[in-house]
Amino acid sequence: MMDKLYLIAQIADTRVALRSRSINSVVGVENPVPVPGAPPHVVGLFALRSRILTLIDPHVVVGLAPVKVADSQRVIVVDVAGHGYALLADRIEDVCFIEAPETPLHGQLSPGWARVADALVEFEGATLLVVDPAHFITTPVARAA
Amino acid sequence: MDDLLTDFLAEAAEMLADASGAIVAWEGDPGDRDRLDAIFRFVHTIKGSSGFLTLPRVTALAHAAEDALDQVRRGARNADVALVSAVLAIIDRLNQLCETLGKSGVEPAGDDQDVISLLSGLTAAPVETAVPVAAPSVDEDVAAAVQSWRSIRVPLPLLDSVMTGITDMVLARNDFARLLRENNRDPALVASFDRLSDSIAGMRQSVSQMRMQRIDKLFSPLPRIARDLATELGKQVQMVTNGGEVELDREMIENIRDPLTHIIRNAIDHGLESAADRQTTGKDAIGRIMVSARQSGNQIEIEVADDGRGICIDKLVAKALSAKIIASADVALMTPRQKLDLIFAPGLSTAAKVTAISGRGVGMDIVKSNIEKIGGIVELRNDEGRGLCVILRVPMTLTIISGLLVSASNQHFAIPRGAVREILLESSDTVRIDRLGGGEFVSVRGERMALVRLENILSGGEDHDDDSDDRALVIVRPGQGHCYALSVAAIHDHEELVIKPAAPLIMATGLYAGTTLPDNGRPVLLLDALGLPAVIGVDVGVAAQLGSELLAREADALETRTRGQLLLFRDCDQSVRAINLTAIERVEEVPLSDIFESAGSVQVHIGGDIIPVHASAVPSGCEKVKLLRLFDGRNEICYLIDSVIDIIRMTDSVKASKVPGLVAGIILVADQPIELIDPFWLMEQVAGGSRRAERKHGPLCRLAADDDGWAANFLAPILRSAGYRIASGPVLADEEVADVLLCSSETDIAADGPTVPVVRLRMTVNGEGPDDDSIYRYDRAGVLSALRSRVAGTGQ
């Protein structure tokens, strides 16, 4: 069941279906604390209750220019290897089951997206990229175009 | 398994470990009644509990040991090596039985007569010479023992989960506090929250304490290990442990156990020489190993010092060369410290041949990496030929540390308080900052260090113009390596911080050691004290420091000349006193044997000089003493001290004492009144006693015609103490012309020509006539006054 559950969101200017297995929650963030010296896709740190999360900017991961964090911007909280991260989202749409099967990619994507996207899926008359949120954290950053 | 049995086993394991250490100590000092009683209680308790659980073998063993020890207590038997070995054998057997019991749950069948007979087979004849000890009734003792063991056992995972729980509670409370501050003004709610907050803080404290264990736990098996190993190697070792009351997080204890054991094995196997070798080098046949622990701030220092041969640097280098750890070209460039640090290189073992005990290729590198894994450091103090001291410095706990909050670029950061040596303002008088060749250096009271601006590090080495005056300097003492100064925009406060690891991609920067969440709810990064300077390539390693020490010494000398400084020291009576630094020529450390008492005053023999010492008696109870050597341009005197504390700036106000004496007055140092020693008064006491200046520049008196050596043997000491320099024997070609000639007979008056005045000595009390200007040679005053008048005559 969980395998079919996706979070539909717009991330790095692209509509994607995020596999929900590692997604913890969606929260608002304000004013993250920067981490000098950290890789460029690390926006900073913020506290969620008693946890400290590392905020990631997916724009940088796929090779776009970084964006400014707006007040109460929505972020997707994910757990990867015991650490908590949050992905900046441009817009959060919905969580839903997608019964349609994932179809493999055939190299039509930009280099940045090609490294994070796994497959394609049909949803309500549109084609979405299927992305595992963990890829945004573990993938080396694409050089900004 | 039965709960009762589990409890018994846990208790027995703990007591047996303690007991073996106590027995070895007791063997060394059989008169130690307390120790004997403690061991007796161990076996007595084990006997009692095992009887209750029907473990006949355990009961029989404990009973036999109890009997034997009781005889010793009653003075009916002597504690000798055989007895101690027999008791140790019983303890070993008990350990084996307990292990089997732990695995199978039932006591294995078997016979322990072999070890029991060891005990009873000894001559149990009453010994008259035994130390008579009063034997209090057994029940009384045991009642005391039960009191001291009044505790319960808790499984470790439970303890750990309580700790995790309380950490989360603290963080949740911090979060709650922030919300409350932002949204609520209801005093009742705030008060109630404060109460909750206080009790959480108290609980956290208790939980931290629950996890604390006395380091005794770690130390108690060591004497046994040392004894067994020494016996195996045919060496004699005396092990002393100290500071067992220091407490350490149990996780740290687990982590230190192996490295510590390894260091001790190394010390016995490689460090200590055989008894014969020791005696040829003038050491006591019994090697000493001293293990001590002490707490300093958030850190625990564990020191293992032996009096063995130390590390032979040349052998170490040769070994590293042959193991291809270093190239021969590197050797010339290496400082002694770097050479010594080769001991930590992987794959290097100093033993000439591999032994079963410690030369197995796992060596100090493993010790070092294990200690560093838990945030500790390993230091060495090597005194070649005289011993090695290994110091382990580890944090007390891992999860909650005391941190110093600083800010840079408008952002807060935390520094572990344990790594901070000192905090200063850049504008402080004791601080001088030099910009040289693109780098910055700071001199704090003559000690030169690299200066690192936090903003520069965080922005990847770019220079920031920051002319703010009130920047603060944090002198950071990273684990290994040397201090550096971290310049930050401001210092905030100290806080107990719950440290959580940061995400791997943040840790990978090398700048941070973790994250923490203070009360305001804004995450704060914990700076990695060692990683910071490395990231921008500032070398705080050894080479950089040695060069800078030379510079610092020059700077120090300059400072000494340009402004008054005081040396703060601990006097022999342990009170802290100060003395003007310019009066001190140097601080000497001499063996006690060089200090002697002569003619009612204490003197010291340093190099070729005999110098008076300001002390009422020759000190005792130590092997070496420290002396302040004072020199006023003419006279010298030594002042006996305990230790040097610091060099401080002369304060403006001295409250002078009313009566001249040793103490010139009182000054305030850090709000503490300190007695200031009066070097003038000290000199006054010895003026005339030692006249180095006059020895160099006093008149030269040549002993002529001193064929029988009388003048050289009898007269010369008197003349020297009167300030003359003495020359005797044949006149050398380049010798300076004597100021006066002292002639013991009539023979060669004209040897040096008429320019040199002559004092002639005669053997008889009465002269030969009115023209006889010679002086009777035992007329001390006459000889001196004649010399004085002749020398004065030359000047005219």
What does the pLDDT look like over A37-95, one tens digit per residue? Answer: 888 888 899 888 767 889 998 888 888 888 888 878 889 998 887 788 999 888 888 88
Question: Cβ of B515 and A52 within 8 Å?
Answer: yes
Both tokens assigned to A31: 């004013």
Q: What is the pTM of this model?
A: 0.43
Chain A contact set for B523 (CB, 8 A): 33, 45-47, 52
Residue B139 confidence class, pLDDT cut points 50, 70, 90: very low
Q: What is the pLDDT of residues B338-386, one digit of tens each?
A: 888 888 877 665 554 444 444 434 477 778 777 776 667 788 888 888 8
Chain B contact set for A137 (CB, 8 A): 503, 505
Residue that wins the pLDDT comparison between B552 and B678: B678
The radius of gyration of chain B from alpha carbons, rounded to an integer in Å, stands at 36
pLDDT at B693 over 80: no
**Pick from A36, A38, A85: CB nearest B459:** A36
Q: Which residues contact B489 (CB under 8 A, 6 or more apart)?
A: B406, B407, B408, B409, B410, B454, B455, B466, B468, B471, B472
Question: Cβ of B175 and A81 within 8 Å?
Answer: no
Q: Which residue of B has its CA nearest to A36?
A: B458
pLDDT at B584 over 80: no
Tell me if B679 sits within 8 A of B630, measured CB to CB. yes
Contacts 24+ apart (CB under 8 A), B156-161: B156/B250, B159/B210, B159/B211, B159/B250
**Mean local confidence (pLDDT), B742-764:** 67
Q: In the beta sheet, which residues pair with residue B239?
A: B289
| pLDDT at site B291 | 92
Chain A contact set for B204 (CB, 8 A): none
| pLDDT at site B542 | 38
pLDDT at A132 over 50: yes
Chain B contact set for A35 (CB, 8 A): 506, 509, 512, 525
pLDDT at B143 over 50: no
Count how many pairs of residues, chain A against chain B, have C-beta atoms within 8 Å: 65
The whole-angstrom distance between A1's CA and the closest CA on chain B is: 30
Segments in B121-215 forming alpha helices (H): 138-148, 156-183, 187-210
pLDDT at B118 over 70: yes
Question: Cβ of A50 and B458 within 8 Å?
Answer: no
Chain A contact set for B489 (CB, 8 A): none
pLDDT at B546 over 70: no
Q: What is the widest separation between alpha-carbon atoms in chain B? A: 119
Predicted complex ipTM: 0.86
The closest of B367, B416, B376 to B248, measured between CA atoms, is: B376
Contacting A with CB below 8 Å, chain B residues are: 168, 171-172, 174-175, 409, 411, 457-460, 500-506, 509, 511-512, 515-517, 521-525, 535
**Pick from A46, A83, A85: CB nearest B523:** A46
**Pick from A35, A45, A50: CB nearest B168:** A50
- Altogether, the residues listed in chain A come to a count of 145
| pLDDT at site B467 | 52
The whole-angstrom distance between A59's CA and the closest CA on chain B is: 17
Residue B550 confidence class, pLDDT cut points 50, 70, 90: very low
Residue B132 confidence class, pLDDT cut points 50, 70, 90: very low
Question: Cβ of A33 and B522 within 8 Å?
Answer: yes
Chain B contact set for A50 (CB, 8 A): 168, 171-172, 174-175, 517
Amino acid letter, residue B433: I
Angle between helices B33-52 and B3-28 (to 10 degrees): 160
Q: Which residue of A has its CA nearest to B515?
A: A52
- d(CA B677, CA B657) in angstroms, rounded, equals 11
* DSSP 3-state of B240: strand
Chain B contact set for A34 (CB, 8 A): 411
Chain A contact set for B175 (CB, 8 A): 47, 49-50
User: For residues A117-129, b (16+ Cβ closer than 10 Å) or e, as one string?
Assistant: bebbbebeeeebb
pLDDT at B133 over 70: no
Q: Which of B179, B525, B527, B528 to mutate to test the interface with A (most CBs of A within 10 A)?
A: B525
What percent of chain B stands above pLDDT 90?
1
| pLDDT at site B387 | 87
Chain A contact set for B516 (CB, 8 A): 52
| pLDDT at site B698 | 72
Q: What is the widest separation between alpha-carbon atoms in chain A? A: 43
Q: What is the pLDDT of residues B439-481, one digit of tens each?
A: 788 888 877 888 888 887 777 555 555 555 678 888 887 655 5
Question: Cβ of B505 and A47 within 8 Å?
Answer: no
Chain A contact set for B171 (CB, 8 A): 49-51
What percent of chain B stands above pLDDT 70?
77
**Pick from B501, B523, B525: CB nearest A47:** B523
**Mean local confidence (pLDDT), B44-53:** 78
Residue that wins the pLDDT comparison between B536 and B136: B536
* Distance from the Cα of residue B162 to its chain's centroid: 37
| pLDDT at site B785 | 83
| pLDDT at site A141 | 55
- Altogether, the residues listed in chain B come to a count of 796
| pLDDT at site B153 | 76
Question: Cβ of B523 and A39 within 8 Å?
Answer: no
- d(CA B438, CA B764) in angstroms, rounded, equals 82
Residue that wins the pLDDT comparison between B460 and B563: B460
Chain B contact set for A87 (CB, 8 A): none
Chain A contact set for B511 (CB, 8 A): 36-37
Chain A contact set for B172 (CB, 8 A): 49-50
Tell me if B313 sits within 8 A of B340, measured CB to CB. yes
pLDDT at B432 over 80: yes
Question: Cβ of B171 and A50 within 8 Å?
Answer: yes
The whole-angstrom distance between B189's CA and the closest CA on chain A is: 20
The whole-angstrom distance between A101's CA and the closest CA on chain B is: 34
Tell me if A84 sits within 8 A of A53, measured CB to CB. yes
Q: Which of residues 118-137 of A touch B (CB under 8 A)?
A: 137
The whole-angstrom distance between B504's CA and the closest CA on chain A is: 8
The whole-angstrom distance between B264's CA and the closest CA on chain A is: 38
Residue B141 confidence class, pLDDT cut points 50, 70, 90: very low
Segments in B184-312 forming alpha helices (H): 187-210, 216-219, 222-233, 250-266, 275-280
pLDDT, chain B, mean: 75
**Mean local confidence (pLDDT), B609-634:** 76
Q: Which residue of A has its CA nearest to B521?
A: A47
Q: What is the pLDDT of residues B287-324, one digit of tens each?
A: 889 999 887 655 688 999 998 888 888 888 888 888 77
Chain A contact set for B458 (CB, 8 A): 36-37
pLDDT at A24 over 80: yes
Cα distances from B622 to residues A58, B240, B591, B619, B626, in angstroms, run 69, 17, 9, 8, 10
Q: Which residue of A has its CA nearest to B454?
A: A36
Q: Which of residues 59-118 of A touch B (CB under 8 A)?
A: 81, 83, 85
**Mean local confidence (pLDDT), A11-34:** 85
Our separate counts of H helices and E strands in chain B read 25, 34
Question: Cβ of A52 and B517 within 8 Å?
Answer: yes
Question: Cβ of B175 and A50 within 8 Å?
Answer: yes
**Mean local confidence (pLDDT), B236-240:** 87
**Pick from A36, A50, A52: CB nearest B172:** A50
The whole-angstrom distance between A128's CA and the closest CA on chain B is: 29
- d(CA B145, CA B333) in angstroms, rounded, equals 61
Q: Which residue of A has its CA nearest to B457?
A: A37
Q: Which of A27, A30, A31, A35 to mutate to test the interface with B (most CBs of B within 10 A)?
A: A35
